[in-house]
């Protein structure tokens, strides 16, 4: 559909360059935005039960992976940045019996399928990462295959209707920006209209059964969307 995937390697190298900064700012307990704006509705949609096997997609330094474990889950978490994963392993050392961390690229179907365990995943989550991933088609397909019947995939992202390049909504596009003020290099963001993201959900067999639009500092302006897909 487009050639965003040609930028995957450059995007990965920018996340590598920003990983120490991300780690320093997110620390052991994440930041206000993730903790207080994104987490409550994400946790409501995920509804973690004791023993759930959860795939944490593009986990960064593992803040949300640790939260999942605190809520009773066993977690397989991955990111394509080696530095992010080494920070994650160090910071989440106390939970190493409940979280497996892997370096894996969400744009590569075969690599995603190597994350398969001896039982299907109950749930999958991508916390504020879908707009950072160059090609989400392989991910949506693989997650559908890795989930148990009726399993759910919850993802949050910058709300594409409100956080987007100037003057464009319907055309997918790449733009540069900062996740953390003062990070060493600008990262790529991949803008897609909601109809494109949901098309990938529907063609793979998911239905949408949960949706929140959450404001940050302006109550009338949703900074993020949080969507629950269910394997039909």
Q: Evaluate whether 126 touches 58 at the Cβ level (below 8 Å).
A: yes
Task: List contacts with ligand SAM (CB under 6 A).
Answer: 15, 26, 34, 58-60, 63-64, 79-81, 84, 105-107, 127-129, 132-133, 179
CB 163 → ligand SAM: shortest distance, Å? 13
CB 188 to ligand SAM: min, Å: 9
| Pair of tokens at residue 6 | 């040609």
Residues 6+ apart with CB under 8 A from 28: 63, 91
- Report whether 153 contacts 112 (CB < 8 A): no
| DSSP conformation letters of 184-219 | SSPEEEEE--HHHHHHHHHHHTEEEEEEEEEESSST
The least CB distance from residue 231 to ligand SAM, in Å, is 21
Phi, psi of 158 (to 5 degrees): -55, 135
Return the structure tokens found at 103. Answer: 């370096």
**Minimum CB separation from ligand SAM for residue 46, in Å?**
13
Closer by beta carbon to ligand SAM, 6 or else 207: 6
CB atoms within 10 A of CB 6: 11
Closer residue to ligand SAM (CB): 70 or 220: 70
Ranked by CB distance to ligand SAM, the top (closest) residue is: 60
Q: What would the DSSP string read from start to end of 47-108?
A: ---TT-EEEEET-TTSHHHHHHHHTT-EEEEEES-HHHHHHHHHHTGGGTTTEEEEE--TT-
Smallest distance, Å, CB 229 to ligand SAM? 17
Least distance (Å) between residue 37 CB and ligand SAM:
12
């Amino acid at each position: 559909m487009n050639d965003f995937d040609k930028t995957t390697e450059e995007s990965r190298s920018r996340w590598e360059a920003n990983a120490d900064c991300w780690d320093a700012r997110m620390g052991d307990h994440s930041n206000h935005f993730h903790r207080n704006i994104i987490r409550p509705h994400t946790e409501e949609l995920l509804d973690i039960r004791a023993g759930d096997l959860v795939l944490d997609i593009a986990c960064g330094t593992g803040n949300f992976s640790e939260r999942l474990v605190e809520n009773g889950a066993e977690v397989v978490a991955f990111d394509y940045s080696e530095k992010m994963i080494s920070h994650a392993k160090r910071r989440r050392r106390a939970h190493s019996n409940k979280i497996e961390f892997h370096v894996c690229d969400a744009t590569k179907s075969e690599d995603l399928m190597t994350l398969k365990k001896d039982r299907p995943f109950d749930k999958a989550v991508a916390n504020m990462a879908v707009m950072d991933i160059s090609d989400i088609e392989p991910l949506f397909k693989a997650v559908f295959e890795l989930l148990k019947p009726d399993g759910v995939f919850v993802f949050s992202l910058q709300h594409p209707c409100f956080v987007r390049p100037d003057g464009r909504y319907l055309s997918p596009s790449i733009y540069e920006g900062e996740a953390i003020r003062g990070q060493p290099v600008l990262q790529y963001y991949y803008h897609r209209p909601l109809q494109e993201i949901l098309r990938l959900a529907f063609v793979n067999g998911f239905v949408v059964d949960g949706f929140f639009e959450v404001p940050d500092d302006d109550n009338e302006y949703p900074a993020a969307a949080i969507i629950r897909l269910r394997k039909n």
